[in-house]
Structure 1
Amino acid sequence: TGVASYLSEERDAAVPVDPEGAMIVACDPLDGSSNIGVNVSVGTIFSLLPASGGELQSGRSQLAAGFFVYGPQTTLLLTVGNGTASFRMDDDGGFRLLEELVTIPQTAREFAINASNRRHWPAPITRYVDGCLAGADGPRGKDFNMRWVASLVAETWRIISRGGVFLYPSDARKGYESGRLRLVYEAAPVAMLVEQAGGRATDGAADILDIVPQTLHQRVPLVFGAVEEVAAVADEYAAG
């Protein structure tokens, strides 16, 4: 099969497949599942890793990453380390190339965060969001719109297409102290796609792709999008 083992967000441990396989497949089989009942886009996130590196590798080791979005259209965002490409599924079930080298716009004025958790946020996130909400009269000197879909694949597709920044920080709630998204199955694949599209992905300060997971289900904060906006968040973290 070529696949040595299968890692899933829905399984506690790796599933052995072929001892001679050259790759490990990591997958979030149904991202955004809470949205199914309200007909909002959901998807499947995947990552390919070299089997020789074992199950706990940094995102820099990924051979490929991508995700499918199941919505009004079935679409695919894919990178093999040489740029990020977008595809749409046609009526015959095949995928048609939409854009060979997708580039994140660097000038968009949108940010995505669940503002209902504001009281739990760390100070750097609160300051960054307050700066955005202050608009043209605030420190950023421009107006922003806020988005939140609660589907990582939908948020990522929008940001890669239109620019802006996504924030899912750690916060003070029990179980959220280290963030909520899984490094192996969600953050690392998205980070590879974003970097290959000219953006940046961090945990607020450090690049996601440089983090070596300590467990298969390790959680991390995630901030990604246009370089300028991710840098603005990092500046707030540096300020303490």
Structure 2
Amino acid sequence: MKRLIPTLKGDGVSIEFIMLIRTVLAATKEIAFRVSQGELSGILGSTLDENIQGETQKKLDVLSNQLIKDMLLADDQVRAIASEEEDNVVVGTQGAPYIVAFDPLDGSSNIDINGQIGTIFTIYPARDDVPADSPLQFQQPGKNQLCAGYVLYGPATMLVMTTGGPTRCYTLDLTHGGFLLTQEELSVPTDTKEFAINMANSRFWADETTQYVNDLIQGEEGPLGKRYNMRWNAAMVGDIHRVLTRGGIFMYPNDNRDPKKPAKLRLLYEANPMAMLIENAGGKAYANKQRILDIMPDELHQRVPVQMGSANEVETCISYYD
């Protein structure tokens, strides 16, 4: 099996950029170790604080954010960072070529039940036309991403990443401490019979979403003509990994619970990197009628609806929206 660095070199990635990726992954290896220790490492349970999203922080959220933040700010390739757990942009090295955004621990509700969780990250070119500490650094469409990936902390620790070419899968070799290439190129099947959505929110959905999901669950006798199964991990990183591995459609649509927050998932930290991974594996990723990677952000913590996965199913889903 090929190691990470030779694989990236074969993809034409520069040494400087490889070193930045290694910085991100060094932090995730430390997180993976803490996760594997569970209660033994004292990182389970919640803090008394809320993050910028208004969500109660888990101890592992705080630890993961600090680990990634500290390592990236010590890397002289990083001009600025943005985290789902931070209010504002944090400045790194002035004049550095890259900016990095991350969700330090996706799926926090799964921490205390030993469920699937993961780290999502994305790297963009730094902007020379705005200050390093400006949120405008990150007001770039997702198609500008230079690298997107996630590390899934499951029975095995897995890295799924693209640097603009194929979406590749690596597995952490605990013996040698490095990521080994285990799937040369992930390919999302065009068609599917699986969908992932939080059905508990159904009473808050828009009519278009309700109609589509109703049609899904009618089975062979319904308008879509086949029987679907529902899967839901309560962690985007786990649900997208399943989609990348065997197909499906993942949805987190708009709802009307809170007029100030009609969507849940963050464009910068979640939707954009996952959309790049999905598209580079042959799938599609939309926010209702708009391709996610074409969206021009208007704020650091912007939220968007998400429909992504198997190409034909995503096309069917978005056809329900005006």
**TM-score, structure 1 normalization:** 0.97
In the other structure, the counterpart of 1:212 is: 296
Match of 2:198 among 110, 114, 123: 114
Q: Which residue is 2:38 aligned to?
A: none
Q: How far 1:78 moved relative to its partner? A: 0.2
Q: Tell whether the 8 Å contact from 1:170 to 1:176 is kept in structure 2 after alignment.
A: no
Q: 1:85 is aligned with what amino acid?
A: R
Q: Between Structure 1 and Structure 2, which shows a larger proportion of strand residues?
A: 1
Shift of 1:176: 6.7
Q: How far apart are 1:108 and its partner, in Å? A: 2.3
Correspondence list, 1:35-74, <5 A:
35-52=110-127, 54-74=137-157
Alignment match, 2:46: none
Q: Secondary structure at the match of 2:80?
A: strand
1:157-212 Cα deviation digits (max 9, x unpaired): 00011101001001011157531000000100000000000001111110010111
2: CA distance, partners of 1:178 / 1:6:
26
Unaligned runs of 5+ in 2: 1-75, 129-136
Q: Tell me how far apart the structure 1 counterparts of residues 277 and 259 of structure 2 sit (CA, whole Å).
A: 27
- SS of alignment partner, residue 237 of structure 1: coil
Counterpart residue number, 2:182: 98
Preserved contact between residue 113 and residue 167 of structure 1 (Cα < 8 Å): yes
Higher mean Cα deviation, 103-112 or 192-201? 103-112
Once the 2 structures are TM-superposed, how far is the Cα of residue 61 of structure 1 from its aligned partner? 0.5
Match of 1:191 in 2: 275
Larger of the two Rg values belongs to structure: 2
**What's the counterpart of residue 166 of structure 1?**
250
CA distance in 1, matches of 2:234, 2:78: 31
Partner Cα separation in structure 2 for residue 33 and residue 58 of structure 1: 27
For residue 159 of structure 2, give the secondary structure of its aligned residue in structure 1: strand
2: CA distance, partners of 1:61 / 1:176: 28
Secondary structure, counterpart of 2:290 in structure 1: coil
Which residue identity lines up with residue 123 of structure 2 in the other structure?
L
Matching residue within 218, 222, 226 for 2:306? 222
Q: Unaligned stretches of 5+ in structure 1?
A: none
Matched with 1:20 is 95
Report the Cα distance in structure 2 between the residues aligned to 1:125 and 1:225, rounded to whole angstroms: 16
- Checking the alignment, whether the CA contact within 8 Å between 2:256 and 2:262 is kept in structure 1 is no
Counterparts in 2 of 1:36 and 1:51: CA distance versus 1, 3 Å: same
1:137 has 2:212 as partner: no
The whole-number CA distance in structure 1 between the counterparts of 2:262 and 2:146 is 26
Q: Which AA in structure 1 matches 2:253?
A: P
- Residue 80 (structure 2) aligns with: 5
Matched, 1:154 2:238: yes
Deviation at 1:107, TM superposition (A): 2.6
CA distance in 2 between counterparts of 1:17 and 1:175 reads: 35
- Structure 1 CA distance for aligned equivalents of residues 260 and 227 of structure 2: 30
Aligned length: 238
Distance 1:79 1:40 in 2: 25
